[in-house]
Structure 1
Amino acid sequence: MKKLIYHISLLICLQVLTVSFAKAQGDEKRYPLIPYPQHLAAGAGEFKITAKTVIVTAPDALFANEVKQLNELISKGLGKALVVTHRQASSSILLKYDDKITADEGYSLSITPQQIVISAKQGAGMFRAIETIRQLLPADIEAGIHHSALNVPALSIQDEPVFAWRGMHLDVSRHFFSVSYLKKFIDLLSLYKMNKFHLHLTDDQGWRIEIKKYPKLTEQGAWRTFNNQDSACMKQAVDNPDMAIDPSHIIHRDGKTLYGGFYTQKEMKDVVAYATARHIEIIPEIDMPGHMMSAINSYPFLTCNGENSWGKLFTKPICPCNETTFEFAQNVFTEIMDIFPSKYIHIGGDEVDRTDWGKSEECKALMAREGIKDLPGLQSYFINRMEKFFNAHGRKMIGWDEVLEGGVTSSAMIMYWRTWVPDAPVKAAKNGNQVIMVPGNPLYFDGKYDRNSASNIYHFNPIPKGLTEEQAKLIVGAQAAIWAESVPSEKRADYRFMPRMTALAELLWTNKVSLYDGYVKRNIEQFPRLDALKVNYRMPDLADMVDYRVFVKADTVTAVKPLKSMIVRFTHDGTMPGPSSPILNKYIVDKNQVLNIAAFAANGRRGDVYTVNYRQQNYAEPATTSVQSGLKVFYYPGEFNGTTKMPADNSDKVYTVPGVAVPDEVKAPSFALRFKGYINVPQTGIYTFYLTCDDAGVLKIDNQTTIDNDGMHAPVEKSGQAAMKKGLHPFELNFVEGGGGYTLKLKYSHNGSVLQDVPADWFKN
């Protein structure tokens, strides 16, 4: 009987917890947490933090840093710090050690109207709990707005991350970022419980860290005259001030205008300490043997022949066959390890042009002496020798996935980025290597941002197919990368990674795809906090913005605003919308014209500009012809720089496919496809199509261009409409893949329906 009562009581408790969890998920305004906790039960009432509240902690100073961080947070909102005591007290925030919590970043949090109790085993877990509380506090405290009391909603949380590696990468070589921005970047990482900051410190375009043994690395290598990347940014700055080159990083020397900058070792140690206090590990990357032009310019002895130039694809690398190269590398990394206490050192190892190595007599002799069979093996010799140096100093080496090509030890960590080599992370895991997933699609945040970006990130599975359960454990997590060729300012960097980093943060911490709809709502609740933190985030998309719209008689233009504070303005004269442009409010379009539409924040900041091309079109008459199922696909292997470069004639390599998908027979790394046939629409109407492609794609319906997504680019969605009567309509889709992995998706919507794949039975030929 006792057992029966126990099981009934347990069942009731579980039901209560399930209901509380569901209730909490449905109250995004009360619990706007990102990442969402593993277990959250809603509570009744609130705890009020006032000047009389005290922080209670054990006298052993285990959580001294976290107490300091908590007090700094609260003082922003109250205007004063709380008293810290070791004795129990009413109206207190209690920080407790709990050895039952096994995860380093795990914590439990209980908030009642009487008390806040935070429990953790490690400082990292305690700090993650404090960041949870931070997101429950009023957003305006981030701007230093003081309150007489800070109300925190009651709840109960048990939480820990799914993935150990939750990172962001920032390239400071192509364009330079200030120390203050690095700290702002770290603050945003900590707010969303990220724990790794991969700092790309050197590349062809600039050397950004002081190395005392080699002063010319920064005296010369940190500065450059404006290059083609700078020029491209300046051109875009005409319409977008965020693309302007930051004048604080421009100097004049010897009659030249130079761009650049670097961090002194003292400055960087301060940044490292700032990150460490927030339990974020900074992983330095000194990229070699390739991407070393900025170093070779100052120290030509690093190459095999003294030359420093661009090869066919990449710059000439340093020479792995001279002992002076290893002496240089080890001296550099010795100073790097003194600055960065991180367990990890990133050596790069990507995109190496090995041509000159094959011409070097020294390299030929070394390869014969060491039994090295090929140039990838020679690169592995360099990488593996450097790894031994790192290991001898208690560090673990990370390399981009190219280091797998000539063979690598199982102790190295692999950072996977090349989406066109999908088996690389599988090979690494099967070799025993730990793997960090950074695939260019969807985790290169310097790529174009569109309305699908957050969803693509949130639904990305870091665990590749083809691994056993044990091998899958070697996928330690993921990170996103911001390469800075087209990110010339700190505002532009903000725009590139916020708020889509929140999707990555929740994926890697919570990893529950079922929470996506709640995430979208909670993400909206984050914007006031980001405003207070002065983050130049990308504003959420306006709904129903179609690139190519058609109308039969007239169309009424409206805008659905995801944020009430937005003001939507437009122009129809070819200029970009500004703060004084007309407000969009049921504007009538009854002739062919182009509208530029943009949302403005309350502070006047402009969001993305949507260029909508309006075209009058009568409902197209259906074709009358004999057809069969599927589309014809004409295959053209080779390199084509856009769809206009495709052959006009039909190819003799022809396949039939049920829908818009690349045939299995297509094996070339670069190719073009022409899909031809008919689309059979079930009813008369205006249909909206959405074409996502990497690289180029152009959709034609009824022999008219419906979507123009041409040009060689990363995956991006374009949309267009066609007015059609019920029945068959000529359909043609031209697609070009330039190499490096493709994306091709076609979806549709009709009369405001949810986007969906075009049904296979609509396609005929």
Structure 2
Amino acid sequence: MKKLFVLLFLLCAIFLCAQNSKAQELPLIPYPSNIQTGSGSFAINGNTKIVVADMSKFNNEATYLQSLLKSAIGKDVFIAKSGTKNVIEIKYNSQLEKAEAYTLEVTPDKITISASNGHGAFNALQTIRQLLPPTIETVGNNTLTSVSIPSLKIEDSPAFSWRGMHLDVSRHFFTLDYLKKHIDRLALYKFNKFHLHLTDDQGWRLEIKKYPKLTNEGAWRTFNNQDSACMKKAVENPNFKIDPRFIHEKDGKTVYGGFYTQEEMKDLIAYAQSKHIEIIPEIDVPGHMMAAINSYPYLIEGQKSEWGELFSTPVCPCKEEAYTFTKDVLQEVIDLFPSKYIHIGADEVDKKSWSNSELCKEFMKANGLEDVDKLQSHFVHEMQEFVESHGKKIIAWDEILEGGTNPNVTIMYWRGWVKDAPKKAVLGNSEVIMTPTNPLYFDYVNNNISVNNVYHMEVIPADVPADKAHLIQGAQANLWTEMIPTEQQAEFQMYPRMIALAERTWTNNTGRFDEFSQRLLKQYPRLDALGINYRLPDIEGFAQENVFIGSTDFMVNSPLPDMTIHYTLDGDIPTVDSPKLSQPISISQPTLLKMALFSSGGVRGEIYSLNFRPTTLSKAVIVENTNAGLRCDFFNKFYKNTKEIVGTPDETFVVPNIQAPKETNSFGLKFNGYINVPETGIYSFFFNCDDGGVLYIAGETVVDNDGQHSAIMKSGQVALEKGLQPFQLDFLEGGGGYTLKLQYSFNGGAVQEIPDSWFKH
């Protein structure tokens, strides 16, 4: 009997493991909370019906499902009030208390969706959408007459209530059609918030009827330095070409811009509501208001807004006109947007003009305000009271904490270097939305570590007390568009890390990255069908700056079997018609090789520029009485580039490897000594840093990764004789995300960590 019990137990375990393995094969992102697979499948064909007993609750979802199925099989599927076989039923379930929760059961006879409201049912439909063939996403490209969904049972609900994406339409403009496409893709991955940044120094994008000059004048600008930088990049990458649809002749000048009328915005809001996406408008005050101030100069004391050391002149919070103007604008925004929230910015305010103002000094004295931080809070709190009097809540960036706030303000945390801001906010009983620069500023470089970083981000910071954790609402990624002038580049920056954020905020599980990565690969055909210009996987196994003695052969392989690498040797940008890299290329003279990965759908990945130059072998040096490790000079100061790191260090350490012996908000490091290489040959070095750094070996620059920037990996090669070689690495940290990592490979082999034993001083 005991043996029989053990046998049954083992059989059950094997069955459950098999079921779980089968479930993990389903290409669903975000992954459901609970999923079980069964045998067989449900076939959707021309005889399938949609059954909804209560259309008053699920009319939107029924009609959406109808259009989804038509795209799948090319036929209309009828909606009925009853039916038992070959039906997809959407029904009300009051027991599902969470607003976005749903259950989905698929048997060979029937699909049953249960939810307590339309949002939950709509989430179930997105799960079904991902189980349908990717071809359904391309209008007119589907020739199927029947599709099948595997038998399964899902119980699902999100871990966080705020799962959002932000888009800045002020720096560069985007059409309503594109915003609708973006909303549809947000819905596909079960996002529920769309933060729309509508105003900034570079452009005012929303019609305000009481102040027509905001869009007649403020929506247009002559080309600025950011446009010029994009134009320069466009020589290499057409994604950076300024969109010609937004270039016009106005008053004899070539200007860039655009705006949304209130009627257009109503249409966008209605579309988003049908997808259960809440649009949160942002009107950024009192800073970032140059476009408004130049149209209405009375908002400040001077004649025009100017750029200070970092930011533009803000509106003057000591003039009654500024309060009247801001409330008038907010009134029209409140009337237009049904969102519970109005985002009022309150970030990056250059308060110098206030500090030097006699009017402000008098105003502060009369109102008992001790400093300009309190003056900003005074202005913000008055806007808060105004917004709340209309039944709304305000969101503000985390700088608002500096001048004091109250629990009714929702804090959007972005300054990743201000580590204690989320804790400070929740201790004050404020709700917090996590949007830290690292890794959720999607305008930062999208590279081979971005998806991993997003997937493993800390939504609830470790120092937040357990009894305050509920105040962390969730997370969103921000896309600032100073250097993003096209839809194509916006998509390149967002995908696929946006998909990782969807998983992170829905599941609150960081322990399944390898399995998630496999599901992500299965999403690429759907992204192709949707026409999304996503960032393809990286090509690996090469350096950007290459050297050779006599000649060399170059060859790398595609990371996925259905993707191909194409290259050029004449400086042109690779296209799908360029030569395919299918065998080694022999190089014996200075060469610029450009290559890119292409998906089967024609999407081009990162453009890699590789320089090859002839070199000679660097002879080893003879040094007696060396010690282990490197000497590291520490400079406790802010630097813009490593060339500025000069003079006497504040401290000197000996370190076993490349690492920061001490961290502050901003500092510089100089590592000096020798690297003892064990074999003669070509060494590649891979230098990943945030902010900047430069690597020198044997007296020559091997990797130049200098300047203020987010985490970027650059690589270079040097030919070294076995033995000691002079070694120097300079690094600076400007404040914010801290990264410092150096790896190597030998003669084109695997990338490895540098052993401590190699470093001497």
TM class, shorter-length: over 0.9
Aligned AA for 1:582?
P
Q: Deviations over 1:673-714 (max 9, x none)?
A: 111123445666655432211221112233333322123322
Matches within 5 A, 1:588-737: 588-590=586-588, 593-602=591-600, 604-615=602-613, 618=617, 621=620, 624-647=623-646, 651=649, 653-664=651-662, 666-667=663-664, 669-680=665-676, 687-722=683-718, 728-737=724-733
Corresponding residue for 2:374?
377
> Quick one: which amino acid aligns to residue 480 of structure 2?
W
Instruction: Tell me the alpha carbon deviations over residues 42-91 of structure 1, each in whole angstroms, 9 at most, x when there is no partner.
Output: 33332110010111122353122111111111111222331112213211
Please list every run of 5 or more consecutive structure 2 residues that lacks an aligned counterpart in the other structure.
Answer: none
Q: CA deviation at 1:380?
A: 0.6
| Aligned length, in residue pairs | 755
Give the partner amino acid of 2:195: H
C-alpha deviation, 1:289, in angstroms: 0.1
Aligned counterparts, 1:277-426, within 5 A: 277-426=274-423
CA separation of 1:191/1:617 partners in 2, compared to 1, >3 Å: closer, same or farther? farther
Partner residue in 1 for 2:113: 118
CA distance in 2, matches of 1:403, 1:106: 34
**Aligned residue among 459, 464, 478 for 1:462:** 459
What residue number does 1:746 align with? 742
1:527 pairs with one of 524, 529, 540: 524
Task: Measure, in 2, the Cα distance between the counterparts of 1:96 and 1:134.
Answer: 18
Whether the aligned pair in 2 keeps the contact of 1:91 and 1:115 (CA below 8 Å) is: yes
* Residues in 2 aligned to 1:729 and 1:233: alpha-carbon distance in whole angstroms: 40
RMSD (Å), alpha carbons: 2.6
State the partner residue of 1:36: 31
Q: Which amino acid aligns with 1:676?
A: N
User: TM (normalized to structure 1)?
Assistant: 0.93
The Cα shift of 1:17 comes to: 4.2
In structure 1, C-alpha distance between the alignment counterparts of 2:617 and 2:40, rounded to whole Å: 60
SS state at 1:520 partner = helix
Question: Does structure 1 retain, via aligned residues, the 8 Å contact 2:433–2:473?
Answer: yes
Change (3 A) 1:90 1:752: farther
SS in structure 1 of the partner of residue 668 of structure 2: strand
Per-residue CA deviations over 1:486-544 (Å, capped at 9, x if unaligned) read: 11112221211122211111111123222211222222222221222121222222232
Q: Determine the structure 2 residue equivalent to 1:491.
A: 488
Q: 1:462 to 1:53 in 2, by over 3 A?
A: same
DSSP 3-state at the match of 2:209: coil
The answer to whether the 8 A contact 2:710-2:737 is kept is no
Supply the AA of the counterpart residue of 1:720. G
Question: What is the SS of the residue equivalent to 1:33?
Answer: coil
Q: CA deviation at 1:416?
A: 1.2
- With over 3 angstroms needed to count, the CA separation of the structure-2 counterparts of 1:371 and 1:136, relative to structure 1, is same
- The 3-state SS of whatever aligns with 1:390 is helix
Q: Secondary structure at the match of 2:83?
A: coil
Aligned partner (choices 27, 50, 53) of residue 55 of structure 1: 50
Alpha carbons of structure 1 residues 6 and 466: separation in structure 2 relative to 1, 3 Å: farther
Deviation per residue, 1:187-231 (Å, 9 max, x gap): 111111111100000001111001111111111111111111112
Q: How many Å apart are 1:558 and its aligned residue?
A: 2.3
Q: Deviations over 1:382-401 (max 9, x none)?
A: 11111111111111111111
Mean alpha-carbon deviation: is it higher for 142-151 or for 35-44?
35-44
Instruction: Look up the equivalent residue of 2:21 and give its one-letter code.
Output: A
Q: Which of 124, 129, 138 is matched with 1:134 structurally?
A: 129
Q: d(CA) in 2 for partners of 1:593 and 1:617?
A: 17
Summarize deviations over 1:404-424 as a string: whole Å, max 9, x none.
111111221111111222222
- Kept in 2, the 8 Å contact 1:622–1:726? The answer is no
Structure 2 Cα separation of the partners of residues 66 and 407 of structure 1: 44
| Alignment match, 2:248 | 251
Report what 1:68 is aligned to: 63
Amino acid at match of 1:52: N
Q: Residue in 2 aligned with 1:151?
A: 148
Shift of 1:262: 0.6
Asked if residue 215 in structure 1 is aligned to residue 212 in structure 2, the reply is yes
Aligned equivalents of 2:164, 2:392: Cα separation in 1: 19
Percentage of matched positions with identical amino acids? 49
What SS is found at the alignment partner of 2:659? Answer: coil
SS in 2 for 1:287: strand
Aligned to 1:764: 760
Cα distance in 2 for partners of 1:618, 1:350 equals 53
Q: Which amino acid counterpart does residue 646 of structure 1 have in structure 2?
A: I
Equivalent-residue separation in structure 1 for 2:367 and 2:333 (angstroms) = 29
Contact 2:551 2:589 in 1 (8 A): yes
C-alpha contact 1:17 1:41 (8 A) present in aligned 2: no
SS at match of 1:324: helix
Secondary structure of 1:157's counterpart equals strand
Give the whole-Å Cα distance in 2 for the aligned partners of 1:741 and 1:598. 29
Q: Is the 8 A contact 1:304 1:357 kept in 2?
A: no
- Look up the match of 1:164: 161
Instruction: Map Cα deviations across residues 538-574 of structure 1 (whole Å, 9 max, x no partner).
Output: 2222232322345567543223223444332222343
Alignment partners' CA distance in 1, 2:756 and 2:505: 35
For residues 755 and 46 of structure 1, the distance between their equivalents in structure 2, rounded to whole angstroms, comes to 45
TM-score w.r.t. the length of structure 2 is 0.93
**Residue deviations 1:434-456, cap 9 Å, x none?**
11111112111112221111111
Give the deviation of 1:39 after TM superposition: 2.2
Q: Decide whether the 8 Å contact of 1:399 with 1:412 is kept in 2.
A: yes
**What is the CA–CA distance in structure 1 between the aligned matches of 2:8 and 2:436, rounded to whole Å?**
48
CA distance in 2, matches of 1:7, 1:288: 69
What is the CA deviation profile of residues 650-679 of structure 1, one whole-angstrom value per residue up to 9, with x for unaligned ones?
636312233322222x54x44321111234
Change (3 A) 1:396 1:417: same
Q: Does the aligned pair in 2 maintain the 1:547–1:720 contact within 8 Å?
A: yes
Aligned to 1:570: 567
For the residues of structure 1 that align with 2:180 and 2:501, how far apart are their CA atoms?
20
Change (3 A) 1:6 1:180: farther
Is this contact kept in 2: 1:622–1:725, CA < 8 A? Answer: no
Q: Shift in Å at residue 369 of structure 1?
A: 2.2
Which whole-Å CA distance do the structure 1 matches of 2:548 and 2:29 have between them?
41
